[in-house]
Amino acid sequence: MKRKKVAILFLLSCLLVITSIYVSNKVIINNAEGKLFNSTENISKNKVGLLLGTVKYLSDGRINLYYQFRLNAAVELYKAEKIDFILVSGDNGSQGYDEPTDFKNDLIEAGIPESKIYLDYAGFRTLDSMVRVKEVFGQTSVTIISQQFHNERALYLANHFDIEAIGYNARGVSGKKAIKVQLREYLARVKVFVDILLNVNPKFLGEPVEIK
């Protein structure tokens, strides 16, 4: 009898996890409807493009395609005059690891004026990036730049924090790494709602920064 109860509890737990993943995914996708763009032609203009950070190099030394394609997308938007400034929000939490500066250097190399680039060194998570773009950098309307799956999640957070946002989709990545990333994304989407429920705040805020 005890074994049966354990089995039932296990099945119920699995059902709860599966349901949470399904509902979270559905809600986030539905919220992003009409807010995602794959081309610069029809996207409306915003003052600031929020470029969400990621590591530049993989463990084997190769360039991270998620990084490269986000970089390309930011350059496309700027050169199409759909944004005036690029705010790079990423992790700089440990010595020798600096996502924002890597992006800045490559953006400048791609022809973006340094004066048009701002860095958020405390974008440790997507939630932090979205809160800080409003509370620290003073933006209530932004264009988020990342892959579609990431943009969808960021758009939901933007909506929750009363930010008018649209997403510009960087080119996607395929292969084994992409499958692992997608699996983690399902869990990250559940965590969005957990964080909202628990009223989780960014690790750091700080003094306001004017983008001008």
Residue 4 lies in a domain: yes
Query: Positive or negative CA dihedral for 176, 127, 190, 153?
Result: negative
Q: Tokens 């809600």, residue?
A: 27
pLDDT in tens, 92-131: 867 668 899 999 999 999 999 999 999 999 999 999 999 9
Q: How many domains does the chain have?
A: 1
pLDDT of residue 28: 95
Instruction: Determine contact, residues 122/92, Cβ cutoff 8 Å.
Output: yes
- The residue segments making up the domain with residue 63 are 1-198
Is 122 strand, coil or helix?
strand
pLDDT of residue 156: 97
Residue 120 lies in a domain: yes
pLDDT in tens, 48-100: 999 999 999 988 889 999 999 999 999 999 999 999 999 999 988 676 688 99
- Residue 64: enclosing H or E segment and its boundaries? none
**Cα 135 from chain centroid?**
17
Residue 148 lies in a domain: yes
Residue 94 lies in a domain: yes
CA-to-CA dists, residue 72 to 42, 68, 116, 175, angstroms: 18, 6, 16, 20
pTM of the model: 0.92
Residue 174: which CATH number? 3.40.50.620
Whole-angstrom distance, CA of residue 191 vs CA of residue 171: 25
Residue 206 lies in a domain: no
Nearest alpha-carbon partner for 113 in 167, 66, 75: 75
Residue 204 lies in a domain: no
Residue 207 lies in a domain: no
Residue 125 lies in a domain: yes
The helix/strand count (H/E) of the chain reads as 6, 6
